[in-house]
Each structure stands twice: as C-alpha cells, then as structure tokens.
Structure 1
Amino acid sequence: MRIRKKKWAMPYLEDHPEYAILNPDQYRGKWATRFSQSAPIHVEIGSGKGQFIIGMAQKHPELNFIGIDLQDAVLAMAVQKAVAAQLPNVQLVLTDGGDVDDFFTKGEVDKLYLNFSDPWPKKRHTKRRLTSPRFLASYQQVLPDHAELEFKTDNRGLFEYSLVSLNNFGMQFETVNLDLHHSDPAIVQENVETEYEQKFKEKGPIYKLVARFGA
C-alpha cells in the first residue's frame, strides 16, 4: 500500500541517523556495528509504519531487529516510534527489501518476516510476489542453514501460492495456521500485530506460516 508523500519525512530520517539508515549497502557484513549488543538479527521486509518491528523489539530486548521499507513517509513514522521508545535494538532501513543479498551477507540475518506483502494478484505479476522463487533464493543467501521465514497475510490466494512456492523450493513447514486469531490462545498472545492486521483481523482470517530453508 502506497501513501501520500510527506515533505517532512526525508528530512526527519536524515535528522535521526541513530535509527534511520539510508545507505544500507555500506553496512553489508557489518550490521552488528549498528547495535549496542551482540545478538541475533531479525529482519522484517516491508515494515510500514513500524508497529510490528517496534513491538517485537520491545517484546524481545534480547534480539536485534531491522525493519525495511521503500517508502520514506511510512519509514519516518516507524522511526518516530523508535525515537519515542528509545529502543537500542532496532534499526530502520529505507530501501527495496526484495534483493536482501545486496546488503546482507550469508548468515548475517537469523530470521526473516514478511507481513501482509502486496499480493500481486495478476498472473503476469507472479514474479513480484515476495514468496516467489526469485525472492526465496535471495533470502536463502543471507540466512544461515535451516533458518526461519515467517509469513502473514489476509489474502488467501497469496497464502495458497506461498504454500506451493515454499514447498517447491524445498522448505520445511514448522506451522501453518489458517485462522491465526481464532487459534490456540497462547499463539494469539504471542503474536505481535501489524497496523494492517489490527485493522482487518475482524473482517476475515489471518493466515500465517513458519517455514525453514533446507531439509
């Protein structure tokens, strides 16, 4: 989802280099230097206004988190949240998260999250889906062996496509949930919602899967 450009967004990002990264290629192989603690790094591709990635950083101070988004307006809102919370374990990156191997090295990322990605419903746009083989290959290049990919969507078509795509790529499913918010209460309690999820969870099921690369 694209939102209207905000003139204040880019100046705000430039004013907060402690959280906002505008040149991710310069940190390839050196992302640990952006954090005060040595800890596994979890990355969300398409972090939007940051509710999920900020929530995860607050809930798991023992981990480091990176949120990636292409739109400066929404990333600036995420940075605002990080500034307000003064979180030491989160960084926010302005870039296209599709080719993550351009700015992460093998094993530098311990887990990836895809939350409510654009479904690209037309068949001719299949290759643009973030769970298509091209993107899965990119993710595999930055994750250690057997690392997890966690995916949530409210789009049944995209979810079904993703199940087939990940299976054909040789990934092993840890969990497949067809109605996240009406499942085991412990799972619901552990779930950190995105803005989109919070708004649309009452309008239909939220689908979630967790899968590992490799056998």
Structure 2
Amino acid sequence: MTMVNILVVEDEDAISTLIQFTLEQAGFTVQSISSVEKALPLLQSQLPDVILLDWMLPGISGLQFIKYLRDTDRTRDLPIILLTARGEETDKEQGLNLGADDYITKPFSPRELVARINALLRRRAPQKTSTPLHVHELELNPQQQRVQVNGQIIALGPSEFKLLHFFMTHPDRIYTRRQLLDLVWGDHVFIEERTVDVHIRRLRRGLETVGYDYLIQTVRGSGYRFACNQE
C-alpha cells in the first residue's frame, strides 16, 4: 500500500493513543499532537495526506483551524475529518460548512474510523489507496508495486511507479510540472521542475515496451496528461 501520512490533532491522551494504534495497525503512518499551535510548524515542513482534528482543543479550536486551513492556498485542499463529541445536526452542519470533509462523532469504532479515512482517500487522493487499477490491458497493483500488460511485467523505478499511479487515478486532466511535483512527490520536496521531464521520459520508455507510451501526452505550454480515452 502507498504510504499514507495522517496527522492527529487530539488533546485527550487516551483517545489519541487509541487512534494512533488503530491507524498504525491499518498500515497508516501517524503523528499525534495535542494542539493547533503544535500542528502549525509541522504543516510548514510537510503536509500530511489527512488530518484528524478534534473540535474542542485548548487555545485555537478545531473549527478555527479548519477555517485557517481553508483560507490558506497551500492547505486549501487538505483532507480533514473532524472528531467531536457534539452530535447535533447543527454542529455537524457547522463543521462541514466550514470545510471539513467528514465528521465522526465520539465514541466511534476503530473500524468505522479506518473506513471513513479510506473512503475520503478514494474521493480526494485515490493515488494513495491500494485499489488495483486497469486502463485497457494495463494493470497497476499498488500493494504488489507491480505494473503489467497481459502478464508482461513493466520495469519501473519507484518515482515512475508513483507517477503512473497518479496519472491512472487522474486521467484526462492536464497537470503542470509544479502540480505533479507537489501531488506526486509532495510539496516539501524541493527539486527542479525539469526533473519531472526526466521521470516522464523514463515512464514512457517503460510503457513503450508494451505499446502504451501514447497514454502519456505532452500538452505544449501546459504540462502532461494521461489520455486513457484515446487510442
């Protein structure tokens, strides 16, 4: 499974420990902290794939933090699940209206939490899931880290595999080099945009061995597109 990094912002130690244990057992990488003030420097260095955010926190509340994240360009699209003991419909509506992607009422079962995270990833970051993908005869298996066509394995490096996984989960859209760097490698990785061209060439060479290099299209002046609907 592709590594998924989850930031848990929860000030109750018992709940935080249970969440971290549950998510690590499910294969996620977890970092737990107790306040928004502690979260801010972490977000400056690297964005997580999902934030689990308690509503009632010391200092800055979870709702205030959601508003800040949604008002900031770098974190505007960050997937957020709000955790709270407040179960009234008006509370839920308030959290969702401010920008939370989902809302889980305490107490919740560990299985429900994992299921909600996976469902959110399928909607917002499908390249982070372990679902096998098929485009024509091209098959990509994230758990086995394998790409093949009719049983013929395609040799790809780790970066090319991640790039293909992203493209296959986001077909027929144009992405700039900077967008690909941020979405595939992470916005904390500081490398030249032209590095994307190198990995695109390597990916095309791998796909060329099975006649699928045409899937990766260069859009002049814009970037790249995975054109799975074109032969």
Q: TM-score range by the shorter chain?
A: 0.3 to 0.5
Higher CA-based Rg: 2
**Which of the two has greater helix per residue?**
2
